[in-house]
Amino acid sequence: MSNNAVSLYLDPQIRDWVLFPITLVMILVGILRHYVVLLLQSPPKELSRAALREQRALARSQILRATAANSPIPTPFYTSISQHLSDAFAAGTYLKDGPPKGDSPSTPPNPISDPAAMDGMMSGMKTQMVMMVPQMIIMGWINFFFQGFVLIKLPFPLTLGFKSMLQRGIETPDMDVRWVSSLSWYFLNFFGLNGLYRLILGDGNSADSSRDMTTSPFAGGAPAAANPVQDYNKLFKAEKDNLEFSEGLHNWVGNDVENRVLRKYGKLAPAY
């Protein structure tokens, strides 16, 4: 900016009828969006008995392996349980859709045919629409009524690299970079109100539109999308190999417990 440039003086009505309304509208739209997303989210569907049995069998095997080195189960019982699970995993007993037919390779599950996955995708698309539609309306409202308005001057110096970001819609190369246009004020509020939303609505709110811009509408905001479709047939085969390996690591915590108790209370000479 040239040294003899004339300073700008803003009409106070711009502050009262442009700056404050834009900020207030964006805050209220974000709060409204949070509650609309809560209303659109459907409760998670209950798993079927077969699907729950499939998950619990895998979890039971993992717990059995995790405690193998210091197991509360005696060796004969541990071996019996481990072999029973290994045989069931090999035969596909716990699979939700039953054992695989013949020697044909199992096809990976299709998320499109899974109702839970489809519900997650639809929930993500609805969340994206709730984000996009209000922001498009607000941007159109600002462009139609307040295009070319200068709203505020920042109280700290900035380099010329911020000029294109802070003065969108104003083609004045000699204007001080600290002046902010109406459209740039919209983007500053769009990306900068998340802290205020956390203060009003708490963490994990749905008012932050900038966060949803980086996510895919098919990612799904529903809890069903947090559990991706897994091929339990492959998981069971891998778990069978892990169980066979953990049998060699098994150690019962009750081994030689009577001698350990006697040594603890001085009734038996310590072992060296």
The two three-digit tokens of residue 241, written as one number: 């190999």
Give me the pLDDT at residue 230, please: 79
> Has this prediction a pTM greater than 0.75?
no
Phi, psi of 229 (to 5 degrees): -65, 130
The pairing of beta strand 179-181 with beta strand 150-153 = antiparallel
Give me the pLDDT at residue 100, please: 76
Give me the pLDDT at residue 221, please: 42
Mean predicted lDDT score pLDDT of the chain: 82
Profile the chain (272 residues) by mean pLDDT over runs of 10 residues. 60 90 93 89 80 92 92 91 92 85 60 65 80 90 90 89 87 85 91 89 78 53 49 90 90 86 81 64
- 146 and 22 in contact (C-beta within 8 Å)? yes
Give me the pLDDT at residue 223, please: 41
The two three-digit tokens of residue 132, written as one number: 């996009």
Give me the pLDDT at residue 51, please: 87
